[in-house]
Structure formats: C-alpha cells, structure tokens
C-alpha cells in the first residue's frame, strides 16, 4: 500500500454547497417499526373479533378455514407493508436507508407470498371439507363462482412471477431493466386482490372497524406510491430542470456527468446520497438507474460519476449537452448526518469512491484527521487522481492506495498484500481506526470483509457507516 499526504496550503475556496437538510429525528425509526408491528396486531384482533378463535377451537373444516383466513389477513397486511417499504416515503428512507429497506422489502415479500400460499391451500381444503367436495372441484367452483376470484387468480399469477424473478438464481440471469419492469407487476397483483377482499372477504367486510382499517391501509399505500414515487419526482424534476452540461471521462469505463440546474441550493441532498436518474436521450429513458453524487451541488452545477456495468450505464458516456434529466430522490444513509467530529477513515473499492469523494469534501474534519484507503486493480483504474491530490493538499487527507488484482482468498486486500491479515492491514493503513468514524463503499462481498475487519479492529457499531447498492 502506498500513501500520499500534503500540508494544507491557502487556496481559493470553491462555491459553498447547498445547506444540508435537518438531521433525522432518532424516534422516526422506532415509530416506523412500531407501526408495522401494530398493523399485524390489528388484523389479528379483527380475526379474533370475527370469531376466529372459536372456529379454530371447534375443530373440523371450520378451523382449517379460520386459520386460512388469518394467513390471508397477515399476507395482505405484509403485502401492503411491502409496498410502503419501497414507496420512497422520506420519513422511512431517512430513518433506515434504502439498502436496509430493500432487504426488509425482500423478506416481507417472501413472507407475504408464503402466507398467501398457506391461505389458498387452507381455504380450499376448509371449504371442500365443509361441503364434502373434491378439492379440485371445489377450487374450480370457487374460481368461477365467487365474486372477484378470477381477478384474484390473475393477481396471484402476477405475484408468483415477481417472486420467481426475485430469486437470486433468476436475478443473476436478468438485466436490471428487465428485473425492474417485471417487479412493477407486484402493484398489479395488489390491485387485483382488492375486489376479492371487498366482495368475499369475511374479515374485510365483516365489521365497520375492519372496513375502516383495510380501506385506510390501502389508501395510505396507494397514496404513498402516487405521491412519493410519481408526484414528488415530477415536481422536483420540473423545479430544478437539470440538463447535461458536459461529460468527462475519469478512467477506464468511468464517466462523470456535470449537470446544470435551477435553485440547486434548495435540493435537499447530503453528500453520499444518490438519485434515481432518467436521461431523456431516446428509447429507454423511462428506466431509472441509481447513481451517487460525486460532489454536492455547488452553484448551479452538480456531478455524478457512472461506471459502465453494461446495464444501460454505458450510454451515459455518450450523453449530449442539453439532455434533460429527471430525478427521483435523494436516497441513502451513507452521509455525515451522525458525524460528531474526530478522525475519519474511508474505504472505497472501484465505483465506491463516488459517494466517499463527496463526503471527503463535505465533512467538517480537521486537517490531518481523514484517511482514504482506495482499492483498485491498477494505477490506471484510479479515478479522480487530481481531485484526490487537491484533497490531500487542501484538507490534509491521507490517501492510501491498495492496488492489485483480487486476492485468492476472501479479503479486502489486493493479491500482493494478501499475506497480511485483514485486521492488521487495516490498522497499518489507518492507525487511529478504532476511534474513527468509518465509511465503506464498494461491491457487496468486499464491503462485508471490510466491515468484519473494522469491527475486529475495534470500530464501534455506531461509527461504522455502509450502504450496499446491489439490486
């Protein structure tokens, strides 16, 4: 590993960045989690109020049907909670961060799907047992005779497709754009299930309290999606009117896009966050891609840096000046919101340098208090070399380069340094790491190894900041 550092000379300062949004109240996370748990308690209470316990204790087909109803209630509640998790509600986004929400969205989705399968199986067997009918004949009769069931079957098919394409094996075979388009069918599945609940759902229409709860939950979920996935992005894009100013190659497969806009001082973004970007440059503009800011807005300019990963990002290098950009965001918790001063250690791998570069300019650390460990395969793949030299000169940042091909073992180190232990190498690169705020950004597997090494080196959990961007 090689390190560079320079004294801080007196230089002209760049234009001041936009003022960051206010810190997120700590109670937001607790309130959101309590709300999710309360929803499951409410639907369980509605099931109890609808004689669910008595029917279960009575045994026989009625008990099977009652348990099937409970599974269906939980499945519906989790399905709507899943929609809320990814509705981009600012309170939820700022409390948890999008990487954690994406994991919860995935777990909630699979739990909801499994409960939906249990609901279908138990209801069919319960109804068939109550009329002494063949299971297959009862299934057919329910689909063609019960109000809303054909729509429910279509909705179930949509959800099955979403679940199948969300499996890791399927996701590895799909392009991001294809996966994202298929994933939107979850909204169709939710919508098609509503008539079935309205017309035949005993626990939906059985009491005024049940109707009030379910209509409120559906309205909140639909409203959140319409407002925060559509309304706010359209309003923000119209307000700031971002257009491509110029495009600069930064290294092999790495491109920076400078965008000019209006009132960027009112853009509520922190260094380290990202937006979903749509460039109006021809077919395919409707598909959004997540790109981090590599510099917070200064004056009327903002910059993003994109790596060519073959999923639509390659076309960024050919953007023409004047191309309109639509934005959705900002998202992410890899920010300095909780930074309280003191030493800072940042570890970047590949395109992970992008949000960390913005943080290096933004955080109010003292000269000599910041260390950047930059992992790349070769010297040619180091991006922003001149800007990093400026950071070393202007703010006294110590830059440590860890160059070389991937190690033969699971390690954050390059192959030439793989003989060192991960923890020992981290302490050598950043001797003060145990008492530092540590920011990590890179590929998921690499980030996991660095996080493990940092914790073993004594970094407190509250001082360890990561965000993963894999879909």
Q: How far is CA 467 from CA 43, 102, 333, 413, 448, in A?
A: 34, 11, 7, 20, 11
Tell me the C-alpha distance between 34 and 44, whole Å.
15
CATH 3.40.630.30 applies to domain 335-466 = no
Average pLDDT, the chain: 83
Task: Note the pLDDT tens digit of each residue in 415-444.
Answer: 888 888 899 999 999 999 999 999 999 888
Tell me the C-alpha distance between 263 and 237, whole Å.
11
Please identify which residue in the block is written with the tokens 């990561």. 466
Q: What integer is the mean pLDDT of 106-115? A: 86
* pLDDT given for residue 373 in this prediction: 95
Strand pairing partners for 301?
Answer: 260, 298
Confidence of residue 196 (pLDDT cuts 50, 70, 90): confident
* pLDDT given for residue 375 in this prediction: 92
* pLDDT given for residue 424 in this prediction: 92
Please identify which residue in the block is written with the tokens 């981090």. 292
Q: What percent of the chain has pLDDT over 90?
A: 31
470 vs 65, more confident = 65
Q: What integer is the mean pLDDT of 59-87? A: 88
Residues 6 or more apart from 313 whose CB is under 8 A from it? Answer: 289, 306, 307
Residue 470 has pLDDT above 70, yes or no: no
- Are 242 and 105 in contact by the 8 Å Cβ rule? The answer is no
Residue 346 CA, distance from chain mean position: 21
Q: What is the strand order of the sheet 464-466 is part of?
A: 2-4, 398-403, 370-376, 344-349, 437-441, 464-466
Q: What integer is the mean pLDDT of 258-281? A: 89
Task: Note the pLDDT tens digit of each residue in 342-364.
Answer: 999 999 998 889 999 999 999 99
* pLDDT given for residue 9 in this prediction: 35
299 vs 411, more confident = 411
* pLDDT given for residue 12 in this prediction: 33
* Least confident residue range of 176-180, 410-414, 419-423: 176-180
Task: Note the pLDDT tens digit of each residue in 16-62.
Answer: 444 555 666 666 667 777 887 888 899 899 888 888 899 899 989 88
What are the boundaries of each domain within the chain?
A: 27-235, 241-331, 335-466
* Least confident residue range of 245-254, 336-345, 396-405: 245-254
Q: What integer is the mean pLDDT of 128-147? A: 81
Confidence of residue 258 (pLDDT cuts 50, 70, 90): very high
- Are 466 and 438 in contact by the 8 Å Cβ rule? The answer is no
Confidence of residue 253 (pLDDT cuts 50, 70, 90): confident
Q: What integer is the mean pLDDT of 316-331? A: 91
Task: Note the pLDDT tens digit of each residue in 220-236.
Answer: 989 999 999 999 999 99
Tell me the C-alpha distance between 322 and 303, whole Å.
15
Q: What integer is the mean pLDDT of 381-386? A: 88
Tell me the C-alpha distance between 220 and 234, whole Å.
20
Rounded to two decimals, what is the model's pTM?
A: 0.76
* pLDDT given for residue 127 in this prediction: 85
DSSP H stretches of helix in 86-207: 90-96, 98-131, 135-145, 149-166, 168-173, 176-183, 185-200, 202-205
Q: Supply angle C-alpha 222, 227, 232, rounded to 5.
A: 160
Confidence of residue 13 (pLDDT cuts 50, 70, 90): very low
Residue 324 has pLDDT above 50, yes or no: yes
Token reading at 40: 């499951």
Residue 128 has pLDDT above 90, yes or no: no
* pLDDT given for residue 23 in this prediction: 62
* pLDDT given for residue 214 in this prediction: 86
Please identify which residue in the block is written with the tokens 């009132």. 263
Burial of 345 (0-12, 13-18, 19+ CB in 10 A): buried
Residue 6 has pLDDT above 50, yes or no: no
* pLDDT given for residue 450 in this prediction: 93
Q: What integer is the mean pLDDT of 294-308? A: 84
Residue 468 has pLDDT above 70, yes or no: no
* pLDDT given for residue 235 in this prediction: 95
* pLDDT given for residue 419 in this prediction: 82
Residue 159 has pLDDT above 90, yes or no: no
* pLDDT given for residue 25 in this prediction: 66
Sign of the dihedral through C-alpha 446, 449, 454, 457: negative
* Least confident residue range of 36-45, 104-113, 169-178: 169-178
Q: What integer is the mean pLDDT of 246-257? A: 85
CATH of domain 241-331: 2.40.30.10
């Amino acid at each position: 590993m090689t390190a560079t550092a320079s004294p801080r000379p007196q230089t002209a300062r760049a234009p001041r960045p936009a003022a960051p949004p206010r810190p997120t109240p700590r109670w937001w996370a607790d309130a959101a989690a309590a709300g999710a748990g309360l929803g499951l308690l409410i639907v369980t209470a509605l099931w109890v109020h609808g004689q669910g316990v008595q029917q279960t204790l009575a045994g026989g087909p009625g008990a099977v049907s009652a348990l099937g109803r409970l599974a269906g209630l939980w499945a519906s509640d989790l399905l709507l909670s899943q929609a809320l998790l990814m509705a981009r509600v600012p309170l939820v986004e700022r409390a948890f961060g999008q990487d954690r929400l994406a994991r919860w969205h995935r777990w909630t989705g699979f739990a909801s799907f499994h409960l939906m399968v249990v609901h279908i199986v138990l209801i069919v067997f319960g109804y068939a047992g109550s009329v002494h009918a063949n299971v297959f004949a009862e299934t057919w009769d329910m689909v063609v005779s019960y109000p809303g069931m054909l729509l429910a079957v279509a909705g179930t098919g949509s959800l099955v497709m979403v679940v199948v394409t969300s499996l890791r094996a399927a996701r590895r075979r799909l392009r991001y754009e294809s996966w994202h388009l298929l994933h939107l069918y979850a909204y169709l599945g939710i919508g098609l299930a509503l008539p079935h609940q309205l017309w035949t759902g005993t626990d939906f229409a059985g009491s005024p309290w049940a109707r009030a709860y379910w209509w409120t939950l559906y309205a909140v979920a639909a409203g959140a999606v319409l407002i925060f996935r559509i309304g706010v992005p359209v309003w923000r894009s119209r307000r700031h009117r971002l257009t491509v100013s110029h495009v600069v190659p930064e290294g092999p497969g790495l491109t920076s896009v400078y965008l000019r806009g209006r009132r960027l001082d009112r853009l509520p973004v922190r260094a380290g966050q990202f937006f979903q970007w749509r460039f109006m440059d021809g077919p395919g503009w409707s598909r959004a891609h997540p790109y981090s800011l590599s510099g917070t807005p200064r004056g009327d300019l903002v910059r993003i840096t994109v790596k060519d990963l073959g999923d639509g990002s390659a076309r960024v290098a050919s953007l023409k000046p004047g191309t309109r950009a639509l934005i959705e965001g900002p998202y992410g918790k890899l920010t300095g919101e909780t930074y309280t001063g003191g030493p800072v250690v940042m570890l970047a791998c590949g395109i992970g340098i992008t949000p960390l570069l913005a943080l290096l300019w933004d955080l109010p650390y003292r000269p000599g208090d910041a260390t950047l460990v930059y992992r790349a395969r070769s010297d040619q793949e180091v991006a922003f070399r001149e800007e990093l030299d400026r950071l070393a000169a202007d703010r006294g940042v110590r830059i440590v380069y860890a160059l070389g091909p991937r190690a033969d073992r699971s390690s954050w180190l390059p192959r030439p340094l793989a003989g060192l232990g991960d923890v020992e190498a981290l302490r050598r690169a950043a001797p003060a790491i145990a008492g530092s705020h540590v920011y990590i950004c890179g590929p998921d597997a690499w980030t996991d190894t660095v996080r493990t090494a940092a914790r073993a080196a004594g970094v407190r959990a509250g001082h360890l900041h990561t965000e993963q961007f894999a879909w």
